[in-house]
Amino acid sequence: MHLTIEEVSSLLNLPLGTVQRWIRQGKIPVYSFEGEYVFLEKDLRKWAKSRHIVLSSKSTGTADQNSKQKCRLVAALQRGGVLRGVAGDDISSILKGLVESAPLDHAIDRDELFIRLIEREELSTTGIGRGIAIPHPRSPLENAPAEPCITTCFLDRPVDYGAIDRLPVFVLFLMLSPSPDIHLMLLAKLSHLLRRPSFLDLLKSRPSDEKLLSIADEMETEMDTAHRSSKPEDVF
């Protein structure tokens, strides 16, 4: 299970600043994702045991369950909606049109979001190949929505997105999450679907909103059922 730095601080019964100092000093197992610190619970417990550190008896189960409830992919897709015919000749114009048209929470500053998305693209392209891009801020927005949302955007025509396979992008999934933990869970689920040839073919057919959500729901349910049956140590 993935843990946020706040959850680790709670488990260790230490101030957040102390955990941050330990990270800088390399004293605690952690890895970085999109500029945020993410911990694996099994690594943290192994590290704590080796140092005779007693973790809080407070179970992470409640936080984990809340995250799982927020991490229904189809719910995030439904909240984000589907855009069609967004036009543009380059990444900047495409993202501008996407940000202006997406049904975002009213608290989100669209100008700030656009800047954050461009900054992320300058770091490295979010074009993952096969004509797909997953733009997102490097870290949650200051006024990030309480519930994650993913806006599906079918472009008016494919555009060069600097993807590693050099194929032009025809569909984007704009991801906005309230925390790195939820972002990771949703990204894992979305990536799993996008690796399926049948789902990619569905996207190429530019399906109706209802069909897209229906198929995504079926595949996510199948994926969750398989996961429960296999009972892996970690969620992803």
Q: Which residues are catalytic?
A: 136
DSSP secondary structure code for residue 233 in this structure: S
DSSP one-letter code for 13: T
User: Any idea of the CA torsion for 176, 179, 182, 183, to the nearest 10 degrees?
Assistant: 50
Q: Which residues pair with 151 in a beta bridge?
A: 174
Write a three-state SS string for 56-116: CCCCCHHHHHHHHHHCCHHHHHHHHCEEEEECCCCHHHHHHHHHHHCCCCCCCCHHHHHHH
Alpha helices in the chain (DSSP H): 5-12, 16-24, 41-50, 61-70, 73-80, 91-101, 110-123, 180-194, 197-204, 209-230
Cβ-contact 170, 158 below 8 angstroms: yes
Kindly report the backbone phi and psi dihedral angles of residue 170, in degrees, each rounded to the nearest multiple of 5, phi listed first.
-115, -15
Cα–Cα distances (Å) from 191 to 16, 23, 130, in that order, read 32, 29, 12
